[in-house]
């Protein structure tokens, strides 16, 4: 039984929202509290860059410029990740899909497996709040935990609470690059809000409230979705 919503199996969900909306923070909390599998395309790409893989070398210039990595590279990477055993009974997708082509490819993949998404959570946050958040964000390059220098500081300055690794700032937090990422989000990713709304999967959540309150709202959405699925299943 799923620990977050009480459904028969773990959920398959997407977290959608602008850079800095809190997707990684919420997905990580869901993994910690409920054991859901957190799949973050940005973390996978950053690991590839750190390990100097062929994918990392191809993706790096796009990431540093605040542009999207081409769909074919992302789709191969996500296909490989979602085929791993831990993702078979559910996942939280963070940063993927990000284009209509990626959303359609995800739908097609799930359909061939006889699966579907249970919910898409759209975290809504103002641009002013996003700029404030991204200017103070610190991340753990080892376990991917996310902090904020002022509002969510680690217990020991500069050190990850979970694994003790030295925290770093991301290389795409330069104000020019952040502006580019926000522009790219509006042009290429925001249309997914309507894509998922028209499929009856979209749930909007105010992402500007505290982390725990956002998580509680997501839990109640997933609980309601699990009840709807239960009601549809033959007895």
Q: Which of 12, 46, 137, 217 is catalytic?
A: 137
**181 a catalytic residue:** yes
Nearer to ligand AP5, 213 or 228 (CB): 213
Q: Using CB atoms, what's the residue nearest to ligand AP5?
A: 42
Separation between Cα atoms, residue 158 and residue 28, nearest integer Å: 19
Quote the least distance from Cβ 17 to ligand AP5, whole Å: 5
Separation between Cα atoms, residue 203 and residue 117, nearest integer Å: 13
Nearer to ligand AP5, 161 or 229 (CB): 161
Q: Which of 12, 46, 81, 98 is catalytic?
A: 98
**109 a catalytic residue:** no
Nearer to ligand AP5, 5 or 21 (CB): 21
Question: 137-139 and 12-16: which strand pairing?
Answer: unpaired
Which CA distances in Å does 234 have to 12, 111, 115, 229, 231?
A: 20, 20, 16, 10, 8
**155 a catalytic residue:** no
Could you tell me the two tokens for 30?
């869901």
Cβ proximity of 102 and 82 under 8 Å: no
Quote the least distance from Cβ 56 to ligand AP5, whole Å: 11
Cβ proximity of 222 and 11 under 8 Å: yes
Quote the least distance from Cβ 170 to ligand AP5, whole Å: 7
Could you tell me the two tokens for 230?
């239960």
**132 a catalytic residue:** no
**What are the DSSP E strand ranges found in the chain?**
12-16, 38-40, 91-94, 119-124, 137-139, 146-148, 202-206
Q: Which of 12, 46, 133, 181 is catalytic?
A: 181
Quote the least distance from Cβ 213 to ligand AP5, whole Å: 8
**162 a catalytic residue:** no
Binding site for ligand AP5 (CB under 6 A): 17, 19-25, 41-42, 45, 62-63, 66-69, 74, 95-96, 98, 102, 133, 137, 146-148, 151-152, 172, 181, 207, 210-211, 214
Torsion angles phi and psi, residue 161, rounded to 5: -60, -35
Q: Which residues are catalytic?
A: 23, 98, 137, 170, 181
């Amino acid at each position: 039984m799923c620990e977050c919503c009480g459904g028969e199996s773990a959920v398959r969900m997407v977290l959608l929202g602008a850079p800095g909306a809190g997707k990684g923070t919420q997905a990580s909390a869901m993994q910690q509290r409920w054991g859901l599998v957190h799949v973050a395309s940005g973390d996978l790409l950053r690991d590839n860059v750190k390990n100097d893989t062929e994918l990392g070398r191809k993706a790096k210039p796009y990431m540093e410029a605040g542009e999207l990595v081409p769909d074919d590279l992302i789709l191969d990477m996500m296909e490989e990740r979602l085929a791993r055993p831990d993702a078979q009974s559910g996942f939280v997708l963070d940063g993927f899909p990000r284009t209509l082509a990626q959303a359609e490819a995800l739908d097609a993949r799930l359909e061939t497996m006889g699966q579907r998404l249970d919910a898409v959570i759209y975290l809504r946050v103002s641009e002013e709040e996003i700029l404030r958040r991204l200017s103070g964000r610190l991340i753990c390059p080892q376990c991917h935990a996310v902090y904020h220098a002022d509002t969510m500081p680690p217990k020991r300055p500069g050190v990850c609470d979970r694994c003790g690794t030295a925290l770093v700032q991301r290389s795409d937090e330069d104000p020019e690059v952040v502006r580019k990422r926000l522009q790219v989000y509006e042009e290429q990713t925001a249309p997914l809000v309507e894509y998922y709304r028209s499929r009856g999967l979209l749930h909007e959540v105010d992402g500007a409230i505290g982390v725990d309150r956002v998580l509680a709202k997501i839990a109640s959405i997933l609980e309601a979705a699990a009840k709807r699925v239960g009601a549809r299943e033959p007895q």
